Amino acid sequence: MTFEYAPALESRAIVTIKPKYGHFINGAFVSGKKHFPTINPATEEILSHLSLGSASDIDKAVAAAQKAYTKTWSKLSGKERGKYLYRIARILQERAREFAVLETLDNGKPIRETRDIDIPLVAAHFFYHAGWADKLDYAGLGQSPQPYGVAGQIIPWNFPLLMLAWKVAPALATGNTVVLKPAETTSLTALLFAEVCQQAELPDGVVNIVTGDGSTGATLVNHPGVHKIAFTGSTEVGKKIARAIAATDKKATLELGGKGANIVFDDAPVDEAVEGIVNGIFFNQGHVCCAGSRLILQESIAEEIIEKLKVRMAKIRVGDPLDKNTDLGAINSREQLTKIQELAAVGDAEGAQRWSPQCNLSEKGYWFAPTIFTGVTQAHRIAQEEIFGPVLSVITFRTPQEGIDKANNTPFGLSAGIWSEKGSRTLWASQQLRAGVIWANTFNKFDPTSPFGGYKESGWGREGGKHGLAAYLKNGKESGAK
């Protein structure tokens, strides 16, 4: 007899999903004219219908944000702003399980991750930024740094509520008001967050949420009433935004794509490195901009690591995201699944060797087994293009410098991992790598105090920590240079 884990489903009774949602503008829900369905990617069940944000919806939301900025939010002291953020953090903690279940239903990610990672980090992010609101003079941006006004924020579907927190918390702490456009496929937790704003009695119009698709986002970017753009998403769209605002004075922070290198040296702590590789690429189905999607292995231990990795991958539990024992959930959308399938097929065609453990994937919903490609070289497309799925490309190197050179051989520069037990080598590698976030003997760790953001085509600016505040503030008066 073997140790089969019986289904351990988290109850969905804790969430109430309305059949139809409007936008959240000026403190109230207002229905849009057109609606579109939002589904559970694990089952293809239609969860609800969301309003498709039109130009006039964006107008109203920006006007509400502008009014709230002028009339209330900019007049409030930092101390009082901070208290609203603390309230939000506390309510998020109180309702954490509800958010976790809803996020899992809407996104397809495992409940273990929403429960243990996404939602706790969301609350932590608000709690952290709440404390900044009345301390901005000490942020290294001069005396009385000033907010921009209305921030237009566009977030992706991979960490729906967490990305909302990364955007909304610093914007509000620094005194900006917000119009947020959640991702088309994952808006439900943002709309539940609107209820949290109501419970926290946040002044009307400080946070506005307009649901919709790419066109809604583009309208927001181009709206003349928006002074600051914050976007997380693909590099392709990031470039479009950079062009769209070129003629304006709008500031932008862009958190874009990546092709993170996870470098394993021959003196790595092997078992933890294998865990780190798994966490690097299979966390959140690989839907992570900073995923360690390129495994860069020192040739002398490549065989051992790959063997252990395969054994470990066979233990990955793929299945119902609401099952507390699921490690790998559903791919977020049909569109994303197709993209992953296409790029994996390119890997096959280019002659890389594909391997996946035996997985019983459900007929319904969108699924992709954890996959590694060995025999990959820099010239392969799967070594260069972001797949944004549970697909790992394995590349080998002979000397430390060669490993670094391969890691840096990409237009991206978001994240990298280093696995070594030798401190001096780790610090050397961390200096050589051209990436904004370096994880040494760990991977995919996030914290509100820790600045996050990319080099090169992975984006502009940082989110989190002291450095993240700069994205939402005009420099204040500096004490004289001379």
Please identify every residue annotated as catalytic: 255, 289
* Residue window 280-319: x/- pattern of binding to other proteins, with contact defined by CB under 8 A: -----------------------------------x----
Report H helices in 133-230.
160-173, 188-199, 214-222
**Strands, E assignment, 240-347:** 251-255, 261-264, 294-298
328 Cβ contact list (under 8 Å, min separation 6): 110, 282, 285, 316, 317, 318, 319, 370, 390
Distance CA 418, CA 352 (A): 24
Interactions with other proteins, residue window 120-179 (CB under 8 A): 124, 140
> Shortest approach of other proteins to residue 181 CB, angstroms?
20
Q: How far is the CB of 237 from other proteins (least distance, A)?
A: 11
Kindly state whether residue 116 participates in binding other proteins, applying the rule CB under 8 A.
yes
Does 353 engage in binding with other proteins (CB under 8 A)? no
Distance CA 226, CA 232 (A): 17
Stated as kind and residue range, the H or E segment containing 456 is none
- According to DSSP, residue 134 is labeled T
Please report how close the Cβ of residue 112 comes to other proteins at its closest, in angstroms: 6
CB nearer to other proteins: give 106 or 457. Answer: 457
Q: Which residues are CB-contacts of 283 (< 8 A; sequence separation ≥ 6)?
A: 113, 291, 444
CB of 204 to other proteins, least distance (A): 33
| Contact positions with other proteins (CB under 8 A) in 259-278 | 267-273, 275-276
* Residue 324 binds other proteins, judged by CB under 8 A: yes
Q: Strands, DSSP E only, in 91-216? A: 146-147, 150-154, 177-181, 207-209
Residue from 150, 159, 465, 469 binding other proteins (CB under 8 A) = 465
Judged by CB under 8 A, the residue of 72, 198, 384, 450 near other proteins is 450
Min dist. Cβ of residue 267 to other proteins (A):
7
Cα separation, 410 vs 388, in Å, equals 16
The residue (of 103 and 184) whose beta carbon lies closer to other proteins is 103
Q: Look up residue 75 and give its two tokens.
A: 């007049």
Nearer to other proteins, 339 or 456 (CB): 456
Among 29, 78, 441, 476, binds other proteins (CB under 8 A): 441
Among 6, 13, 360, 379, binds other proteins (CB under 8 A): 6
DSSP code at position 114: I
Q: What is the CA radius of gyration of the chain?
A: 22
Tell me the three state secondary structure of residue 43: coil
Assess contact for 433 and 280: CB atoms under 8 A. no
DSSP secondary structure letters along 386-409: ---SSEEEEEEESSHHHHHHHHH-
Comparing CB distances to other proteins, the nearer of 2 and 360 is 2
- Judged by DSSP in three states, 97 sits in helix
Window 223-242: residues binding other proteins (CB under 8 A): 235, 238-239, 242
- The count of residues in the chain is 482
Distance CA(126)–CA(135), nearest Å, equals 15
Q: Does 457 interact with other proteins (rule: CB under 8 A)?
A: yes
- Minimum distance, C-beta of residue 450 to other proteins, in the bound complex (Å): 5
Toward other proteins, which CB reaches closer, 194 or 302?
302
- Binding residues with other proteins: total (CB under 8 A): 65
By CB under 8 A, tell whether 379 contacts other proteins. Answer: no
CB count within 10 Å of CB 275 equals 16
Among positions 93, 146, 234, 325, the unique one binding other proteins when judged by CB under 8 A = 325
Shortest Cβ 137–other proteins spacing (Å): 16
**Interacting residue ranges for other proteins, rule: CB under 8 A:** 1-8, 112, 116, 124, 140, 235, 238-239, 242-243, 246-247, 254, 256, 267-273, 275-276, 315, 324-325, 411, 421, 426, 430, 435-442, 445, 447, 449-453, 455-457, 459-460, 462, 465-467, 475, 478, 481-482
